Homo-oligomer: A and B are copies of this chain.
Amino acid sequence: MSYVAPIKDMLFVMNELAGLNEVNALPGCEDATIETVEAVLEENARFTSEVIAPLNWAGDQEPSYWKDGQVFTTKGFKEAFKMFAEAGWQGVQHPTEFGGQGLPKLVATPCIEMLHAANLSFALCPLLSDGAIEALLTAGSEADKATYLENLVSGKWTGTMNLTEPQAGSDLAMVRTRAVPQGDGTYKVFGTKIFITYGEHDMAENIVHLVLARTPDAPEGVKGISLFIVPKFLVNADGSLGARNDAHCVSIEHKLGIKASPTCVLQFGDNGGAIGTLVGEENRGLEYMFIMMNAARFGVGMQGIAVAERAYQKAVSYAKDRVQSRDLAGSPGPVAIINHPDVRRMLMSMRAQIEGARALAYVAAAMSDKAHHARDEVVRKQNQAAYEYLVPIVKGWSTEMSLHVTSTGVQVHGGMGFIEETGAAQYYRDAQILTIYEGTTAIQANDLVGRKTARDGGAVAKNFIAQIRATQAELAASSNVDLQAIAKQLALGATALDEVVNFVVANFKSDIKAVFSGSVPYLKLAGVVFGGWQLARAAKIAQQKLQAGEGDTSFNQAKLATARFFADHVLSAATGLRSSIVDGSAGVLALGNEQF
Interface centre among A442, A574, A577 (most CB of B within 10 A): A442
A557: interface (CB < 8 Å): yes
Distance A256 CA – B420 CA, assembled complex (angstroms): 6
Contacting pair A414 B432 (CB below 8 A): no
- Identical copies in the complex: 2
Would A429 and B254 be within 8 Å (CB), given that A345-B520, A417-B436, A573-B573 are in contact? no
A218: interface (CB < 8 Å): no
A344: interface (CB < 8 Å): yes
A259 closest partner in B (C-beta): B420
A340: interface (CB < 8 Å): yes
Contacting pair A324 B174 (CB below 8 A): yes
Contacting pair B595 A340 (CB below 8 A): no
Contacts of A257 in B (CB 8 A): 418
A488 closest partner in B (C-beta): B583
Contacts of A567 in B (CB 8 A): 587
Would A593 and B169 be within 8 Å (CB), given that A418-B256, A587-B561, A588-B345 are in contact? no
A377: interface (CB < 8 Å): no
Contacting pair B420 A254 (CB below 8 A): yes
Contacting pair A342 B587 (CB below 8 A): no
Residue among B195, B256, B417, B569 making CB contact with A584, cutoff 8 Å = B569
Contacting pair B428 A414 (CB below 8 A): no
Contacts of A435 in B (CB 8 A): 411
A579 closest partner in B (C-beta): B572
Contacting pair A554 B595 (CB below 8 A): yes
Q: Enumerate A145-199 residues with CB–CB distance to B below 8 Å.
A: 164, 167-171, 173-174, 194-195
Distance A403 CA – B407 CA, assembled complex (angstroms): 8
A433: interface (CB < 8 Å): yes
Question: How far is the CB of A27 from the nearest CB of chain B, in Å?
Answer: 40
Contacts of A343 in B (CB 8 A): 442
Would A173 and B325 be within 8 Å (CB), given that A342-B517, A421-B254 are in contact? yes
Contacting pair B342 A429 (CB below 8 A): no
Contacting pair B334 A173 (CB below 8 A): yes
Contacts of A593 in B (CB 8 A): 320, 336, 338-339
Contacting pair B580 A568 (CB below 8 A): yes
Contacts of A566 in B (CB 8 A): 587
Distance A352 CA – B587 CA, assembled complex (angstroms): 10
Q: Enumerate A310-332 residues with CB–CB distance to B below 8 Å.
A: 316, 319-320, 323-325, 328-329
Would A411 and B425 be within 8 Å (CB), given that A338-B596, A520-B342 are in contact? no
Contacting pair B512 A328 (CB below 8 A): yes
Q: Enumerate A51-101 residues with CB–CB distance to B below 8 Å.
A: none
Contacting pair A576 B575 (CB below 8 A): yes
Question: How far is the CB of A584 from the nearest CB of chain B, in Å?
Answer: 4
Contacting pair B516 A324 (CB below 8 A): no
Distance A325 CA – B580 CA, assembled complex (angstroms): 25
Question: How far is the CB of A496 from the nearest CB of chain B, in Å?
Answer: 10
Distance A560 CA – B590 CA, assembled complex (angstroms): 9
Distance A428 CA – B256 CA, assembled complex (angstroms): 10
Contacts of A517 in B (CB 8 A): 341-342, 344-345
A415: interface (CB < 8 Å): yes
Would A419 and B255 be within 8 Å (CB), given that A173-B334, A411-B441 are in contact? yes
Which interface class (under 10, 10 to 19, 20 to 34, 35 or more) fits A? 35 or more
| Interface of chain A: mostly helix, strand, loop or mixed | helix
Contacting pair A328 B516 (CB below 8 A): yes
Distance A171 CA – B328 CA, assembled complex (angstroms): 13
A586: interface (CB < 8 Å): yes
Residue among B323, B421, B586 making CB contact with A568, cutoff 8 Å = B586
Contacting pair B587 A565 (CB below 8 A): yes
A554 closest partner in B (C-beta): B595
Contacts of A437 in B (CB 8 A): 415
Contacts of A256 in B (CB 8 A): 410, 418-420, 425, 428-429
Contacts of A584 in B (CB 8 A): 345, 565, 568-569, 572
Contacts of A169 in B (CB 8 A): 324, 414-415
Question: How far is the CB of A234 from the nearest CB of chain B, in Å?
Answer: 30
Contacts of A574 in B (CB 8 A): 576
Distance A339 CA – B194 CA, assembled complex (angstroms): 24
9 pairs of A and B residues whose beta carbons are closest in the complex:
A565-B587, A561-B590, A342-B442, A568-B584, A572-B579, A572-B576, A171-B325, A341-B516, A256-B425
A341-B517, A345-B521, A557-B590 known, 6 other contacts, Cβ within 8 Å:
A170-B325, A256-B418, A341-B516, A345-B517, A347-B596, A557-B591
Name A's B-contacting residues (CB within 8 A): 164, 167-171, 173-174, 194-195, 253-257, 316, 319-320, 323-325, 328-329, 334, 336, 338-345, 347-348, 351-352, 403, 407, 410-411, 414-415, 417-421, 425, 428-429, 432-433, 435-437, 440-442, 445-446, 481-482, 485, 489, 512-513, 516-517, 519-521, 554, 557-558, 560-562, 564-569, 572-577, 579-580, 583-596
**8 pairs from A and B in contact (CB 8 Å cutoff):** A174-B334, A256-B418, A339-B593, A344-B517, A344-B588, A417-B432, A575-B575, A576-B576
